Structure 1
Amino acid sequence: MNQLLFERSTGNIGPNVFARLQTTQLLSSFRPAPEFRFDGGERGNAVRDNRHGSVAPDKDAASTLWAHDAGVNALALERFDGRILVSGGLDASLNIWDLEQCGNPSKPHTFTPTATVPRSDKTHKFGITHLSFYPFDSAAFLSTSYDHTLKVWATERASLSASFSLGSKVYTHAVSPIASHLLVACGTQHPAVRLVDLRSGSNVQSLAGHAGAILATSWSPRHEHVLATGSVDGTVRIWDIRRAGGVIAMLDQEDSLGLYHNGLLDPSGKVRVRASAKAHSAPVNGLTWTDDGAYIVSAGHDRRIRVWDAALGKNTLASFGPSIKNSQLASVTMFTSPVGLTHPGKELLFWPNEAEILILDLHEGHVVTKLRPSTAGVRSTGGTQRTNKNRIASIVWRGSGGGGSSSGVAMGGSNIAGAIFSAHLDGQIRAWTPRLEGDDNEDEDESLDEASEEKAKKRKALDDVFKGLMGKKITFT
């Protein structure tokens, strides 16, 4: 950091380069922030994992706090102030959290819900599958559930504004961040994508073409009528909802040239798409776009993450190696670092890898860092112990000025303003913050890695030998 400041002060690097170097360093330095906890009124006793795989009771009193009793399955963070967080549980309950409750972010804080929506016949009956905020106003958010419904809520009152029955289990939904229309794309157990118009309050359109349930939906951040969807049939289809035929492209894992590009027509006037084109060889349950709309990222049960050129539809052949885990039959939330935070071509992908979060180089595929929680999904309630899988079900990122603010990472540091929040099926919401150089907690790591421990042992052995020799009186005859 001192070298960077020197280079900046002497004019060797400009302010934009300086900012990118610093934010890149912070993006790769996220760490667990157990000082921030979420108390939804549930109680239990946690255990802590050590490096050798054994567990022991967690003596930290905060480890008895849980956000949702049955597990947290979805999170949503409003994008304007990055203040309101909504969580959905497998027990069909909803909690609303105010992240500005923490008056002094340099001190530990336990968040409590500002409002709770319990399970009932008038709300959701089964587990929450996906949450999102209305993109232009944080006063409303949307939820979908295994109870076949999409619901719209008033954030401030935590009251139901509208409900839509879709007739099938709803796995995910998406709202365009830029569109003037108010269409919600819903992925359900039915093979047709359902479009719900919030303005008219009706199901206005179905996009037919997939051969199985829809597990992932994502609108383009550049073109308001373009939608990407992923299905259990392994295909990713790109739709223009204004067209009668709908589909304008299919992503093909064998295509690294972009041959099946939207706009290419055969002599009959139809879009040229190879019928056997598949993005993955197993169900596709994750889709996202980079915020400039240049790339699409897909994930599937074949334990592959693929990056696609959105303009050409070609596979960029980015390889993320064998460490990727993905086995849940549900939509996976992932996100990329905003363009401009890092140098061009050096964007990062944040991926919930079952029980850990991987921060990956988006284009090269290598692992930048791994984030692992310190507590396992085991707790004791009422004297009986039960084990919950500690899988991460959802992740969101908060910048200092909102959910995707570029200044959030640059200025966040150990502040709750620059943080990742993760939903876990053991019932907890966990926070992760970047580490600043000179952080007071920097030297309080739980343990050294194995290489450092080995070096320390060797150094101590050499010191002992040296002191032993120097402590003896040597005479020559």
Structure 2
Amino acid sequence: MLHSFRPAPEFRFNGGERGTAIRDDEEGSIAPDPTSTLWAHQAGVNALALERFDGRILVSGGLDASIKIWDLEQCGNPSKAHTYAPIAKISRSDQTHKFGITHLSFYPFDSAAFLSTSYDQTLKVWATERAAASASFNLGFKAYTHAISPIASHLLVACGTQHPAVRLVDLRSGSNVQVLASHSGAILATAWSPRHEHVLATGSVNGTVKVWDIRRAGGVVGMLDHEDSLGLYYNGLIDANGKPRSRASARAHTAPVNGLTWTDDGAYIISAGHDRRIRVWDAATGKNTLASFGPSIRNSQLASVTMFTSPVGLTHPGKELLFWPNETEILVLDLHDGHVVTKLRGTGPTVAGVRSTSGAQRTIKNRIASIVWRGAGGGGSSSGVVMGGSNMPGAIFSAHLDGQIRTWLPRLEGEEDEDEDESLDEASKERAKKRKALDDVFNDLMGKKITFT
């Protein structure tokens, strides 16, 4: 069922703003669409975060600096269409954020708090229930992203900004405790290891990805090199004491790196860059596994990109999937050989905009700004019940610059409206053809109407 997500347009998110949608029509011209008058954030949704305990509270951040909190259990009958309303709104002000939200995340051990960064150069901590700021940190530079370890007790937040040094903010002491200075350009991506609490990966606009041990004085323990398919142990980068030596120079990508994540078991690091490449790295040795994702990858935004791998337990080892926001579609990719498993389309118009009630009009290139995973019963568990009242592996929520939050749910295998994607690999098309042939044989033998007596 991980291979069979589809749009679920019956679930809408209404942030309460009014106006008329504008979109490109079949001839490519821009025209009003009076049927669409609901937005999560009319100015565009730029960030999402979902708490991992119950999978119930969703937080969204807009380009207008607003933050909204949604209760996904608000729907009384999840088998029917529902329009969600926010349970709390945080509007733009001098006490909140002044410019667009760039990244959101929940406190790792409790859904009672979440964090946000903004173009206004601040990192803020919020009390979820009160929808009020608990702490604010001035980073001094435009903030692109932040990350907090899912396992560590040190409560350090790694912030990526326009400055080439990674800023570590200690939530306990309320101070900037450390600066990791080694990059030579802005930091667009940060990600903590889910296995080792002191290990951090960072990506820069100069194409470098560095791995840090924050306990070490020097900090950097390795750099990822796209030309290295062997790893530290086979390139003479292990010293006499068995410790890895850092490369003097290496580039993971030939263009800015704006996406980083780890597999849930910490075995692999996944990086993405403006060179339209996604690379998978062995976290233990730093070698490039040479997974090839083909020419269909699109990545042009000068901002952090959120992607995730299928949670542990939902696939066999070595069969993990990568969910990638490919500008205007979501690609479900085989993590290790790179082939496209599914393309999730129906993400709205290519060009979209809003004509507000005041008469102001704007049009933008619509793209997916963020995606989050809702595991069955919350978190990454493979058991439980989620939206729709039946056992399923999870749901996906995506943030779009046309102001919408869209929902994706698994579909039952063999649904009649299932479309074959011509761009899928030959193996996928062959499986679809065989399934269709078996369905035809079954229908011929059994007929459309079956009566049991």
Return closer, same or farther for 1:413/1:434 CA change in 2, 3 Å cut-off.
Answer: farther
1:248-327 map, 5 Å: 248-259=221-232, 264=237, 266=239, 272-327=245-300
- CA RMSD, 1 decimal: 2.9
- The residue number in structure 2 matching 1:390 is 366
1:36-435 map, 5 Å: 36-46=11-21, 61=35, 63-259=36-232, 264=237, 266=239, 272-373=245-346, 375-376=348-349, 377-382=352-357, 385-407=361-383, 418-435=394-411
Amino acid at match of 1:30: F
Return closer, same or farther for 1:412/1:227 CA change in 2, 3 Å cut-off.
Answer: farther
Give the number of aligned pairs.
Answer: 422
Structure 2 residue matching 1:87: 3-state secondary structure: strand
Separation in structure 1 between the aligned mates of residue 420 and residue 158 of structure 2, nearest angstrom: 47
Return closer, same or farther for 1:32/1:247 CA change in 2, 3 Å cut-off.
Answer: same
Separation in structure 2 between the aligned mates of residue 402 and residue 208 of structure 1, nearest angstrom: 37
Amino acid at match of 1:432: W
TM-score of the aligned structures, taking structure 1 as reference length: 0.82
Amino acid at match of 1:334: M
Separation in structure 2 between the aligned mates of residue 365 and residue 412 of structure 1, nearest angstrom: 31
User: Is 1:90–1:126's contact at 8 Å kept on the other side of the alignment?
Assistant: yes
Structure 1 residue matching 2:207: 3-state secondary structure: coil
Deviates more, 1:387-396 or 1:240-249: 387-396
- After superposition, the C-alpha distances for 1:379-412 in whole angstroms (9 at most, x for unaligned) are 4334565322211000001012213222369997
TM-score of the aligned structures, taking structure 2 as reference length: 0.86
User: Is 1:320–1:366's contact at 8 Å kept on the other side of the alignment?
Assistant: yes
Structure 2 residue matching 1:431: 3-state secondary structure: strand
- The residue number in structure 1 matching 2:4 is 29
User: Is 1:212–1:233's contact at 8 Å kept on the other side of the alignment?
Assistant: yes
User: Is 1:413–1:434's contact at 8 Å kept on the other side of the alignment?
Assistant: no
Structure 2 residue matching 1:340: 3-state secondary structure: coil
Aligned residues: percent identity? Answer: 82
Amino acid at match of 1:281: T
How far off is 1:429 after superposition?
A: 0.6
Structure 2 residue matching 1:328: 3-state secondary structure: coil
Separation in structure 1 between the aligned mates of residue 125 and residue 271 of structure 2, nearest angstrom: 27
Return closer, same or farther for 1:103/1:307 CA change in 2, 3 Å cut-off.
Answer: same
How far off is 1:344 after superposition?
A: 1.7
How far off is 1:45 after superposition?
A: 3.1
Return closer, same or farther for 1:258/1:45 CA change in 2, 3 Å cut-off.
Answer: same
How far off is 1:30 after superposition?
A: 0.6
Structure 1 residue matching 2:232: 3-state secondary structure: coil
- The residue number in structure 1 matching 2:449 is none
Deviates more, 1:400-409 or 1:82-91: 400-409
How far off is 1:42 after superposition?
A: 1.7
User: Is 1:413–1:435's contact at 8 Å kept on the other side of the alignment?
Assistant: no
User: Is 1:49–1:375's contact at 8 Å kept on the other side of the alignment?
Assistant: no
Amino acid at match of 2:147: A
Separation in structure 1 between the aligned mates of residue 176 and residue 365 of structure 2, nearest angstrom: 36
Structure 2 residue matching 1:66: 3-state secondary structure: coil
Return closer, same or farther for 1:288/1:384 CA change in 2, 3 Å cut-off.
Answer: same
* Structure 2 unmatched runs, 5+: 424-453
User: Is 2:22–2:355's contact at 8 Å kept on the other side of the alignment?
Assistant: no
Separation in structure 2 between the aligned mates of residue 203 and residue 45 of structure 1, nearest angstrom: 44
User: Is 1:347–1:361's contact at 8 Å kept on the other side of the alignment?
Assistant: yes
User: Is 1:350–1:360's contact at 8 Å kept on the other side of the alignment?
Assistant: yes
Amino acid at match of 1:199: R
Separation in structure 2 between the aligned mates of residue 362 and residue 314 of structure 1, nearest angstrom: 15
How far off is 1:259 after superposition?
A: 2.6
Larger helix fraction of residues: 1
Separation in structure 1 between the aligned mates of residue 117 and residue 43 of structure 2, nearest angstrom: 17
Separation in structure 1 between the aligned mates of residue 392 and residue 245 of structure 2, nearest angstrom: 49
User: Is 2:166–2:179's contact at 8 Å kept on the other side of the alignment?
Assistant: yes
Separation in structure 2 between the aligned mates of residue 367 and residue 49 of structure 1, nearest angstrom: 28
Return closer, same or farther for 1:52/1:408 CA change in 2, 3 Å cut-off.
Answer: farther
How far off is 1:286 after superposition?
A: 0.3
Amino acid at match of 1:129: T
Deviates more, 1:404-413 or 1:33-42: 404-413
Amino acid at match of 1:252: D
